[in-house]
Amino acid sequence: MIGSNVEIRRPHLVSIGSHVAIDNGSYITTAAQIGDYVHIGPYVTVIGGPNAKFIMGHFTNLAAGCRVVCGSDRFMGEGLIGPASLPDEYKDKMKVAPIVLESFANVGTNAVIMPGITLAEGSVVGACSLVTKSTEPWTIYIGVPARAVKKRPRATMLRYAAELGYLNGATPLRSPC
Ligand SMILES: CC(C)(COP(=O)(O)OP(=O)(O)OC[C@H]1O[C@@H](n2cnc3c(N)ncnc32)[C@H](O)[C@@H]1OP(=O)(O)O)[C@@H](O)C(=O)NCCC(=O)NCCS
């Protein structure tokens, strides 16, 4: 189910699984591979352009207003920063690196995820957190920058997913886009 004003800028670079909801106002400019039973809340932005990639495993969620930054200017004075109409030779250098949410990872509202981050299986990012390092599995992180605060039990989630046909949540995703 995709909201009427969701913008997927490059749909030819995006694959979407079964039982996926993408709510109104969300905006995706990157290549993306979205698994099954995924919810992308309202006004989520996934940015970085056509050379950037975003992967969401099964049972992953992004809450309202998250920013997933798969590519960014480097801001080190190597070029100008501005709209796409800047001539290429004058543009800043980019940091572009895939962001991956492994199965059962969740991101709270208004969190920001930086380029190259992997949210390991079952990890959770609290509301308004800034994620600058990859996370450990089944661990909850909060803060700016995000720090681990506690572990998250996994048995019930894995059992329920198995009952839905996802052994260890590990049913392989389709081929990478
Ligand atoms: C991270 C989270 C899961 C922790 O929940 P919790 O274990 O019930 O935590 P508590 O409310 O008991 O708070 C524990 C401590 O962490 C702090 N804290 C909780 N969430 C925080 C956050 N996102 N950022 C910074 N600090 C946070 C609390 O202030 C509290 O601090 P204290 O011990 O000094 O008083 C939850 O706070 C959160 O952010 N959930 C995401 C909500 C959301 O965005 N949902 C989207 C719709 S589903």
Q: Is the per-residue pLDDT at 141 higher than 60?
A: yes
d(CA 146, CA 153): 20
Minimum-distance ligand 1 atom for the alpha carbon of 126: 39
Task: Name every protein residue with a CB atom under 6 angstroms from any ligand 1 atom.
Answer: 63, 108-109, 124, 126-129, 140, 142-143
Task: Please report which confidence band the pLDDT of residue 174 belongs to, taking 50, 70 and 90 as the band edges.
Answer: very low
pLDDT 10s digits, 21-38: 999 999 999 999 999 999
Q: Is the per-residue pLDDT at 175 higher than 50?
A: no
Q: Is the per-residue pLDDT at 170 higher than 90?
A: no
Q: Give me ligand 1 centre to Cα 144, in Å.
A: 13
What is the H or E stretch that residue 148 is in?
A: strand 147-151
3 state DSSP class of 159: helix
Q: What are phi and psi of 10, to 5 degrees?
A: -130, 70
Q: Give me ligand 1 centre to Cα 148, in Å.
A: 12
Q: Residue 173: its pLDDT value, please?
A: 44
DSSP-H helix ranges across the chain: 155-163
Task: Please report which confidence band the pLDDT of residue 52 belongs to, taking 50, 70 and 90 as the band edges.
Answer: very high
Q: Give me ligand 1 centre to Cα 40, in Å.
A: 20
As to burial, measured by CB atoms within 10 angstroms (0-12 exposed, 13-18 middle, 19+ buried), residue 133 is middle
